[in-house]
Amino acid sequence: MSAERKQNRTTAGSDNEPAFRQGGFWGKGPAGGLGMPVEKVRNFQSTFQRLLTYLKPCRFQLLLVLIMTILGNLFDILCPRILGKATTKLFEGSMLLFKQVPGAGIDFTYIRQILFYLLGLYIFSSFFNYLTQFIMARVAQKTVFDMRNDLNNKLARLPLGFFDARTHGDILSRLTNDIDNISSSLQQSITQLITAVVSFTGTIIMMLSISPLLTLIAVVSLPLSLLLTAFVTKHSQKYFAAQQKELGLLNGYVEETFSGHHIVKVFGRQKQSRAQFGTINDRLYNAGWKAQFVSGIIMPLLNLISNLGYVVICVVGGIFVTKKLLEIGDIQAFIQYARQVTHPVVQAAHITNIIQASVASAERVFEILDEAEESPDSSGARILAQTAGEVSFQNVRFAYREDDTIITNLSIDVHQGQTVAIVGPTGAGKTTLVNLLMRFYELNNGKITIDGVDIRDLKRGALRSIFGVVLQDTWLFSGTIRENIAYGREEASEAEIIRAARAAHADHFIRTLPEGYDTVLNEEASNISQGQKQLLTIARALLADPAILILDEATSSIDTRTEASIQKAMHELMKGRTSFVIAHRLSTIRNADLILVMNQGKVIEKGSHSELLALGGFYTDLYNSQFAGAGLADKAI
């Protein structure tokens, strides 16, 4: 995309939030723990129901997960009661020995049998827990696999206007972070929710089977624990929010400082930089310890309430044992149950955060899936067998918004083989014009034809294959130099690739690299210079051998000497082909067959370079503004 509509590229998430907020504290990853705020969902119910539709194909596996989770939790539910039987038997035998009853002894056979039962239950439980995690991992991955495919396919069908209106970081965050969050959240929340329900229900049943009165005493403390948790969580959220704010400032400052560290050193700003870092770091420290302290007191307070309940249970239970109402092993089992009954409750609170995080991420994904797509190709859409390159704009009108018309009643005719230069100030509509030509946007009025055929009657893919494009902003992908040059023509031979590189004056620098054409370009192709990247994009366009060329200041990043050679190569390439050249430096388009001077969406002047200079109008002012004062107006090129 040209400089006119160049996007604000960022690695942050939506709404310009820093990327760190995509993690656990703000609920975009596995939900943060107690006291950590989670992004709120605008429409929880409908988004959650829609998310469930992605799980519908896996309903049989989810039923298996439910059954196996119940079976897998049998050990936790039955173990205390079984151990209580062993404790009772051991206690009875010990008391008989203490009383020196003849023939008395401890029934170690019974205890050994109990231990074997426990071992069997442990193996049984572990096996089903393993199967549960295995199946749930497949369900979660299959769900996000389908969602990721839907999202990727949707992005391919969205118009260019969608990408113009959003930062690249936001789209990337939804396709990666949010999808990953849904995956991890699904795998955690479903199994943990089932486990919490089964454990709580089973534990309460076992407690009731031992003593309804002791169960009532144990359950009374649960509402108090929940109220305390809610109270502390509410007050800790503001500290976590402050911590995240300061962390975002610190991350942004560190990224900014280190990306421009050479500028900091050049201007001797190291001392000020360290001082500013220290200020932000101090604020982060203060917010951080308050957040951790307030949230950290939850467990000690919960333990206090729980221990008070244990004291009451032990006293009442001891009385029951002395009155022969309960066995000592039952009291031991009940105390274990009382300790573990609060775990599912706390786990359920944690799961609420996880589900909230998952639905928040799903909502962001569904927002893209609900975006309006490009209008489909007409039923009789054609493919041009051969393209001569006759282009006509007829009364074209276009507006990004109804109240902001970019191009008004534009009419031009471009003949085969002509080189058409488009010049004008920023925002004049130069790049918009070629975007309309390639049907990245739909016209409001008028029509554009190629070889007399309305572009709306052509298949989009076939239409865009007619063009070869070299933009001011170079784009290369991670891969070898050979693969990047052959991107537009995968069947190209080695000889054709080298020939295109030579024509673009890229062959020499490529061969100086250690791996030559097999050199792998890293992310953003930062292991070669900007000028070298531009040479590779020109070679890519040369190899594609298109019918119509679009050049958006294609030599802006190349030195003057290389530019002269490239201009010669481009001149040979453009022979017999229709070419549209968006120019900011007017010296590069002096030999164009036709120059269109645009301003505020209209072609206000057109003609050759000499004709436009003779008019003494807008073009003359633009031209002189670039060369006046340097004495170069008559020597350009």
Domain ranges of the chain: 1-10+23-210+350-371, 212-325, 384-466+550-637, 475-545
**What average pLDDT score do residues 620-625 get?**
83
Compute the chain's Rg from CA coordinates.
Answer: 36
Q: How confident is the model at residue 29 (pLDDT cuts 50, 70, 90)?
A: very low
| Percentage of the chain exceeding pLDDT 90 | 0
Q: Which CATH code is given to the segment(s) 384-466+550-637?
A: 3.40.50.300
Q: Residue 9: pLDDT above 70?
A: no
Q: Residue 523: pLDDT above 80?
A: no
**What average pLDDT score do residues 119-127 get?**
85
Q: Residue 439: pLDDT above 60?
A: yes
Determine the Cα–Cα distance for residues 450 and 458; give it in Å rounded to an integer.
10
Write down the pLDDT at residue 56: 87
**What average pLDDT score do residues 517-523 get?**
82
Q: Residue 602: pLDDT above 80?
A: no
Do 475-545 and 384-466+550-637 fall under one CATH topology?
Answer: yes
Identify any residues that bridge with 595 across adjacent strands, giving them in sequence order: 421, 607
Q: How far apart are the first and last CA of the chain?
A: 27
Instruction: State the angle between helix axes of 328-369 and 212-259 in degrees (0 to 180), rounded to the nearest 10.
Output: 40
Task: Find where tokens 């009789």 sit.
Answer: 380
Write down the pLDDT at residue 332: 82
**7, 118, 127: which is closest to 71 by C-alpha?**
127
DSSP states of 431-474: HHHHHHHTTSS--SEEEEEETTEEGGGB-HHHHHTTEEEE-SS-
The pLDDT tens digits for 295-336 are 777 778 777 777 787 788 888 888 888 888 888 888 888 888
Backbone angles phi, psi at 143, to 5 degrees: -65, -50
Q: Are 124 and 68 contacting, i.e. CB atoms less than 8 angstroms apart? A: no
Determine the Cα–Cα distance for residues 445 and 450; give it in Å rounded to an integer.
17
* Residue 427 backbone class (left: φ over 0; alpha: ψ -120 to 50; beta: rest): left
Write down the pLDDT at residue 237: 66
Work out the number of other CB atoms within 10 angstroms of the CB of residue 243. 22
Report in angstroms the alpha-carbon separations of 456 from 377, 378, 609.
7, 7, 33
Q: Residue 31: pLDDT above 50?
A: no
Per CATH, is 475-545 categorized as 3.90.245.10?
no
**287, 281, 285, 283: which is closest to 236 by C-alpha?**
287
Domain 1-10+23-210+350-371 is classified in which CATH homologous superfamily? ABC transporter type 1, transmembrane domain (1.20.1560.10)
Q: Mean pLDDT over all residues of the chain?
A: 78
Q: How confident is the model at residue 291 (pLDDT cuts 50, 70, 90)?
A: confident
Q: Residue 28: pLDDT above 60?
A: no
**543, 569, 545: which is closest to 554 by C-alpha?**
569
**What average pLDDT score do residues 147-152 get?**
89
**What average pLDDT score do residues 90-108 get?**
72
**What average pLDDT score do residues 506-521 get?**
88
* Residue 352 backbone class (left: φ over 0; alpha: ψ -120 to 50; beta: rest): alpha
The pLDDT tens digits for 549-589 are 888 776 665 667 667 766 766 776 677 788 888 877 776 77
Write down the pLDDT at residue 114: 82
Write down the pLDDT at residue 11: 36
Q: Residue 631: pLDDT above 60?
A: no
